[in-house]
Amino acid sequence: MQNATTYNERGIAKKKKGDLNGAMADFNQAIRLNPEFSAPYDNRGTVKRKQGDLNGALADANEAIRLNPHYAQAYDARARAKEGRGDLDGALADFNEAIRLNPKYADAYNHRGTAKERKGDLKGAIADYNRAIQLDPKCAAAYKNRGNAEKGRGDLRGANADLNRALQLGVTND
């Protein structure tokens, strides 16, 4: 039995293990089996972004949103592709939509914080990192990002504490 959901889930597992080519193959198969299933487009777009294909990532996020306009993760994915292309205002608009759709989506707050930080809004970035940590106290990336923002504001003590916590939690470069 070939099942689009199973291929999508296996693709996610492969992506987490670092097998981006295997993940891409599974997401492509999920889409072939069910072209109306939004999740594999979103997931394939994330792989494309990680591989440096920002236009492909943006196209996949757009398709996921077209198929499911209430899919917060797809807005987050599209925002990350836009941010990678330097469209910070477009990214912020999509991060805001992801948060509107799912106010408890910690990663969207963390990602929005990075866009705010890139725009020079350290106070707003730190507020978003704080919210991400409040929603998910094990979000290593939010601790890392908040630590870097605190360092930028001259709070070396706070930066050190947050960066140490990020290391304890096993921060990755995602």
Domains of the chain: 1-102 (1.25.40.10), 104-174 (1.25.40.10)
Helix locations, 68-105, DSSP H: 72-84, 88-101
* Residue whose structure tokens are 């917060």: 72
pTM: 0.92
Q: Residue 139 and residue 104: Cα distance in Å, rounded? A: 13
Q: Are 115 and 124 a contacting pair, CB within 8 Å?
A: no
pLDDT in tens for each of the 174 residues of the chain?
369 999 999 999 999 999 999 999 999 999 999 999 999 999 999 999 999 999 999 999 999 999 999 999 999 999 999 999 999 999 999 999 999 999 999 999 999 999 999 999 999 999 999 999 999 999 999 999 999 999 999 999 999 999 999 999 998 765
Euclidean distance between CA atoms 92 and 159, whole angstroms: 24
